[in-house]
Structure 1
C-alpha cells in the first residue's frame, strides 16, 4: 500500500493530521524546499515528488460540531482515495475552530505561517468572515465548503467555495414550496446575530416578495436560543400558510419540535442550516413535512454520486449528509486545481481553482465562476418517512 492514513496530535489536542506519506514542512508557499512542490505533466499525468500539505479548519466542538464531524468524514474518505492514486500525495491537517471566530483566526494564522498550500473551511460563514482575511493577506488559497452567506468570496482573490450561496438555493426553494402548497401568507423567523442566518433571511425576504407572498410578521431570536414557544405562539395566532425559518441546526431542532407540540401543523420551510440528518434524528415525527433547499441530491444516480455513497457507507456505516459531501468534493476540487498546473505552490493552486469547469462530482457538474463561487445543480427536499426526499 503506497499511502498511510493516520491520526495524531499536532500542535494541540484539537489538531488531526491525515497523511498520505511522510513529508518535510517549511517554506512560505508550501511544505518542502523551494521547487519541490512543482511537478511535471498535468491532470492525471501530473507527478509531484513532495507531499502537498493541506489544512482544514472545521467546527469539531461547539455549536456547529454536528456539521464539522460530517465534514471530517468526507475529507477522510476523499484523502484516502486521492492518496491511492498515482502522481500526487497529500498531508491534511485538520484543526478544530471550536465554532469560535477567534479560534479560527489562530488556526488560519498557523496555516499561513507553516507552509500549508491551501485551506478548506471553516465550517460557518460567521467564522469565515473573521478568519479568511488572514489567508488572503498571506496569499493562501481557501476553499469554503459550507459557507453560503453572501460576500464570502468577495473578501479576496484567494477565497473560493464549492458550496452554493443562499441566493442560489433559497429562491428555488420558496418558489417550489409556494407552487406546490399554494402558500399566500407566512411568518418569517430568523436569528439576527449570525452572518449565515442573516444572509439567509435577506434572501428569504426577497424571494417571498418576488413570489408575491405576504409576510405577516418577522420574528427574531438569538443564535443561542433554544426556547421558541412564545415566538411560535405569536406566529400561530397569525394563522400563516407556512413558517419560513433561517437558523442553524441547534435552533432548528427545538423550533420544529416545539412548533408541533404547540399544534402548529403548517409547513415549515428552512434554510441551509436545516440540512442535517440530526433534524430527523432529534425531532422525530415533528420533522415530517419540513421543506429545505439543498446543494446536493443524495438520490442522484450519477456515477460520481453512487460510487461516493457506496464508499462512504462502507467506511462509516451510515449515509453521508450534504456537509460530508461538500467536504469530500472540496478536497477533490483542490486536487483538480493542484493537477491543473501540476504544482502545490499557493499561487499555482489559486490559478488552478479558477480553471475548475464542468468537473464531475457527487454534487453534480461543478464550475467555479468568475466570482470564485460554485455553480452546480440545487434541489428542493422535504422530510418524508424520516429522510430527505426530493419535493416533486
Structure 2
C-alpha cells in the first residue's frame, strides 16, 4: 500500500509539474483589434488592417520569438461609428483585459475612445489615424501611420517644382475630424509655398454627387485640386471632375487616405496622375517588405496596401516591446518598452517611435501610374 501511495504521489507531482509547465507554455496575451470591417468607406481601411494584424499574430506565434507567451487576437468591428468604438474599448479594457488595442480605423473614433485607454493605462497603436494630435491624447497612445503633416508638404513641394502650379482649389470632408485636420494641413502648406487658393468646397459623408462643387472649381480654373477625403470619395471626385471637363492639365493631389487599391478600382483612368504622400509603397525594396507582401498575398489573395503595412508593423512593434518588457503584467513597463522601440525590421524599413510616439518614417511622394501607386519621378 505504501508503495502505491508513493507511486500515486510521484504521479501527482509529475502531473502537477506538467500542468505547471503547460500553463506557462500556454500563457496567452490578449490583444484587441478594433478595425472597421463594415460601415462604408471605413471598411476599405479596416478590412486590410484586420487581415494584417491577424497575419502578424499568426507569424509571431509560429516563430516562438515570445517564448512561453502567445498572442490572442480579439477582433471587433466598430462599423466606423465612434459610439460603437467607445463601447468596444470599454468592453476590451474592463472585461477582456487586453494588453494593447490595435486601431481604431478612423481618427474620429480614436479621439472618442482613446482617452478611455489612456485612463486604463493600456497602450493603443493606431495604424490609419492621420489627423494631427492623435498621440497627444495621452502617453499610452502611439501610431505607426504617418500624419498628413509629415507626408503632404513634400508632395506639394514636388508638385510645385515639377508642374509649376501657382493656384489651387481645395475640397474636403467637413464632417470628419481627420479630413478637416488634413484640410488645415493642406491650407497651411499651400500658403507656405505661395500657392493661391481660388476656391474652397466641402462635402459630407454619404455624398455621391459632387457636380455643384466641381462646377465652381472648374470655373475658377486652378492649376491643381487638393482633396481631403476618404478613398471612395476621392475616387468619385476625380472621376466626376474629368467627366465635367476639368482638363488633364489640372493636377490632382489627395491626402494619404486616398492610397488604397479601392481608389484605383473606383477611379479608373481618371485617377491617373494623382499625387499623394505615404510612408510605404508596394515596390519598396527590402527583404522584410517582400516577405510581408508574399505572405499577405498568399493568405488573402490580394496585395496589401499602406494601411496593412502600418498595421503589420504595429503588431511587430508590440511583440518586440512585449518581449523586452518580460510580458504584459506591468502596463507601465510595457508602455515604456513600446516607447523605446528602435530600428526593428518591418515592411516600412527600420522602424522606431519618436519621443512623441509618432512613427519615424521617411515620407514618399506617390503617383498613380498604370493603375498603381508608384514612386513619383
CA distance in 1, matches of 2:273, 2:151: 18
CA distance in 1, matches of 2:300, 2:175: 35
Q: Secondary structure at the match of 1:353?
A: helix
CA distance in 2, matches of 1:315, 1:61: 21
Q: Secondary structure at the match of 1:286?
A: helix
Q: Secondary structure at the match of 2:186?
A: helix
CA distance in 2, matches of 1:360, 1:377: 15
- Counterpart of 1:72 (choices 39, 45, 50) is 50
Q: Indicate conservation of the 8 Å contact 1:365/1:377, yes or no.
A: no
Which ranges of structure 2 fall in alignment gaps of 5 or more residues?
Answer: 1-19
Aligned to 1:293: 277
- Counterpart of 2:75 (choices 94, 110, 113) is 94
1:319-354 alpha-carbon deviations (Å, 9 max, x no partner): 111111111111111101101112123223211111
CA distance in 2, matches of 1:236, 1:359: 47
- Counterpart of 1:324 (choices 293, 304, 308) is 308
Aligned to 1:111: 92
CA distance in 2, matches of 1:178, 1:358: 33
Shift of residue 297 of structure 1?
Answer: 2.2
Q: Indicate conservation of the 8 Å contact 1:338/1:348, yes or no.
A: no
Aligned to 2:255: 271
| Map 1:40-189 → 2, pairs under 5 A | 50-63=27-40, 64-86=42-64, 87=67, 88-113=69-94, 114-189=96-171
Aligned to 2:180: 198
Q: Indicate conservation of the 8 Å contact 1:54/1:118, yes or no.
A: yes
Which ranges of structure 1 fall in alignment gaps of 5 or more residues?
Answer: 1-35, 37-46
Q: Secondary structure at the match of 2:30?
A: strand
User: What's the Cα RMSD here?
Assistant: 1.5
Aligned to 2:234: 252
- How many aligned residue pairs are there? 348
Aligned to 1:311: 295
CA distance in 1, matches of 2:332, 2:29: 14
CA distance in 2, matches of 1:360, 1:173: 26
1:283-324 alpha-carbon deviations (Å, 9 max, x no partner): 211111111111212211111111111111222222111111
Shift of residue 56 of structure 1?
Answer: 1.0
Aligned to 1:207: 189
1:356 is aligned to 2:341: yes
Greater Cα radius of gyration, structure 1 or 2: 2
Shift of residue 237 of structure 1?
Answer: 0.8
1:96-123 alpha-carbon deviations (Å, 9 max, x no partner): 0110000000000011112111110000
| Map 1:222-261 → 2, pairs under 5 A | 222-261=204-243
Aligned to 1:10: none
User: Per residue, is there more helix in 1 or in 2?
Assistant: 2
Shift of residue 51 of structure 1?
Answer: 1.3
Q: Secondary structure at the match of 2:27?
A: coil
Task: Give the TM-score normalised by the residue count of structure 2.
Answer: 0.89
Q: Indicate conservation of the 8 Å contact 1:99/1:124, yes or no.
A: yes
Shift of residue 49 of structure 1?
Answer: 5.6
